[in-house]
């Protein structure tokens, strides 16, 4: 469970506001999220045997840990690198067990609240929200991102067209930016989505960065010009709008959507397990309280259904599907749900190989790449597999920085380097597909 059971105080009511202004302006104590993560730890361990994995799964369940990796508790097995966010009290139990059982572990984050508050400087100019000075090196709230989209739609109508493909569970618009030079001739398209999982804030930051770069370099950079002249990009900066909003106001580590369940109090479905492709099989959970809950039926989530409908309608001209997640530093392609080789493996594999090399050339950051099932873990009902099965020949999922040092709390100072290198990878994939993969 995500809720640590602290009573909702007056300070908590001010929280959403406090996130936008200087901490010193906030009433009472100045902690983000009502100080709810004080003393929480993030611990990494690797079970040596299946027996140890079994016991650790049980402990994780009992302590109600927030699993950062792998995706679900069922995926913890011998040799699995496992990162858990555990409460201050729970961490004592877990550490005692790890010590006694002689299992290797590392404390990745000593005090989560401290890292949370260090990572976001919340400087004064955050309240000064003029769009011309939009800062791409900070994380933005949903409201800020949506205002930014409206603004671009008005000021860059030559290259950008904004529209909505539907409404979220809580009634928010699902906005898409269509980017590219308008043309009467037939153009292929690339789909990009960010923020399927709410707590992976670097995703939406990258989608915004991509749009900014496209607009800034369209005239000066021949590659970008070629991309925008020959292709349309459909960009969804925040897929899981309700979850993202919730991760700003209530629970920084929320992952799922925010839909209610008929029989359980736990809310939300994993929007990357809700697609009709081997739905709710291996790597997904049937239990509504789990972070990898697949939902009551495929496309039960309005956000997933809206995107699936859009992709179905436009699949003839959408050539590539790119989805941005965090964290692991990986570039993944199908399949997620089985260990098998895709029919167009050679083209996809060489695109991934070149993209990863291009990415590394910027800051030396190493990405692993390969089929999601064997490179990350097996998961069913994912958007990438679904897009591939539904006729989009080039589908990739990025797991952006880092590899666990900050995890989901990637500091704002790392937005720029992360986005710069990812930008190069995306340009590389896009050009590769344009040139080499018909
Ligand atoms: Zn994710």
Is 399 among the residues known to form the active site?
yes
Residue located via tokens 């590389």: 428
Taking the alpha carbons of 383, 138, 256, 170 in that order, is the dihedral positive or negative?
A: negative
Contacts of 190 (CB under 8 A, 6+ apart): 231, 232, 233, 234, 318, 319, 320, 321, 322, 430, 433
**Catalytic option among 52, 117, 200, 399:** 399
| CB neighbour class for 349 (10 Å; exposed up to 12, middle 13-18, buried from 19) | middle
Query: Ligand 1 centroid vs 231 CA: distance in angstroms?
Result: 26
Query: Ligand 1 centroid vs 376 CA: distance in angstroms?
Result: 12
Query: Ligand 1 centroid vs 337 CA: distance in angstroms?
Result: 16
Query: Ligand 1 centroid vs 214 CA: distance in angstroms?
Result: 24
Query: Ligand 1 centroid vs 216 CA: distance in angstroms?
Result: 28
Residues with C-beta atoms within 5 A of ion ligand 1: 197, 200, 325
CB atoms within 10 A of CB 229: 12
Query: Ligand 1 centroid vs 155 CA: distance in angstroms?
Result: 32
Alpha-carbon span 390 to 357, nearest angstrom: 29
- Give the pLDDT of the chain (438 residues) as one tens digit per residue: 333 333 334 344 444 444 444 444 444 446 889 999 999 999 999 999 999 999 999 999 999 999 999 988 889 999 999 999 999 999 999 999 999 999 989 999 999 999 998 876 555 445 445 556 899 999 999 999 999 999 999 999 999 999 999 999 999 999 999 999 999 889 999 999 999 999 999 999 999 999 999 999 999 999 999 999 999 999 999 999 999 999 999 999 999 999 999 999 999 999 999 999 999 999 999 999 999 999 999 999 999 999 999 999 999 999 999 999 999 999 999 999 999 999 999 999 999 999 999 999 999 999 999 999 999 999 999 999 999 999 999 999 999 999 999 999 999 999 999 999 999 999 999 999 888 776
């Amino acid at each position: 469970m995500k809720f640590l059971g602290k009573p909702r105080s007056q300070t908590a009511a001010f929280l959403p506001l406090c996130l936008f202004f200087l901490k010193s302006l906030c009433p009472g104590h100045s902690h983000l999220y009502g100080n709810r993560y004080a003393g929480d730890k993030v611990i990494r361990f690797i079970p040596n045997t299946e027996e140890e994995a079994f016991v650790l799964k049980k402990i994780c369940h009992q302590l109600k840990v927030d699993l950062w990796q792998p995706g679900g508790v069922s995926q913890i097995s011998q040799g699995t690198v496992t990162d858990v966010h555990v409460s201050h009290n729970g961490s004592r139990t877990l550490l005692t067990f790890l010590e006694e059982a002689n299992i290797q572990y590392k404390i990745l984050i000593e005090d989560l609240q401290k890292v949370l508050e260090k990572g976001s400087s919340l400087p004064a100019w955050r309240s000064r929200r003029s769009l011309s000075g939009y800062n791409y090196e900070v994380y933005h709230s949903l409201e800020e991102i949506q205002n930014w989209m409206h603004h671009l739609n008005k000021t860059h109508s030559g290259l950008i067209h904004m529209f909505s493909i539907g409404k979220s569970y809580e009634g928010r618009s699902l906005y898409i930016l269509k980017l590219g030079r308008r043309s009467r001739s037939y153009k292929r398209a690339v789909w990009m989505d960010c923020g399927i999982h709410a707590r992976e804030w670097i995703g939406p930051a990258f989608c915004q960065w991509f749009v900014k770069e496209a607009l800034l370099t369209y005239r000066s950079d021949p590659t970008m010009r070629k991309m925008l002249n020959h292709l349309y990009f459909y960009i969804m900066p925040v897929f899981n709008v309700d979850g993202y909003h919730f991760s700003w106001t209530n629970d920084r580590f929320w992952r799922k959507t925010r839909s209610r369940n008929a029989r359980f109090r736990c809310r939300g479905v994993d929007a990357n397990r809700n697609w009709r492709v081997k739905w709710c099989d291996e790597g997904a959970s049937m239990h509504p309280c789990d972070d990898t809950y697949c939902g009551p039926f495929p496309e039960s989530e309005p956000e997933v259904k809206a995107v699936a409908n859009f992709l179905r309608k436009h699949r003839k001209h959408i050539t590539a599907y790119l989805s941005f997640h965090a964290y692991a530093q990986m570039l993944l392609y199908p399949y997620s749900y089985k260990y098998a080789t895709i029919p167009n493996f050679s083209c996809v594999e060489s695109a991934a190989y070149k993209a990863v090399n291009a990415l590394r050339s910027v800051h030396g950051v190493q990405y692993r790449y390969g089929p999601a099932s064997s490179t990350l873990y097996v998961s069913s009902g994912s958007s990438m597999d679904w897009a591939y099965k539904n006729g989009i020949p080039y589908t990739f999922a990025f797991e952006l920085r880092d590899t666990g040092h900050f995890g989901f709390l990637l500091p704002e100072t790392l937005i720029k380097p992360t986005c710069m290198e990812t930008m190069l990878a995306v340009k590389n994939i896009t050009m590769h597909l344009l040139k080499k993969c018909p």
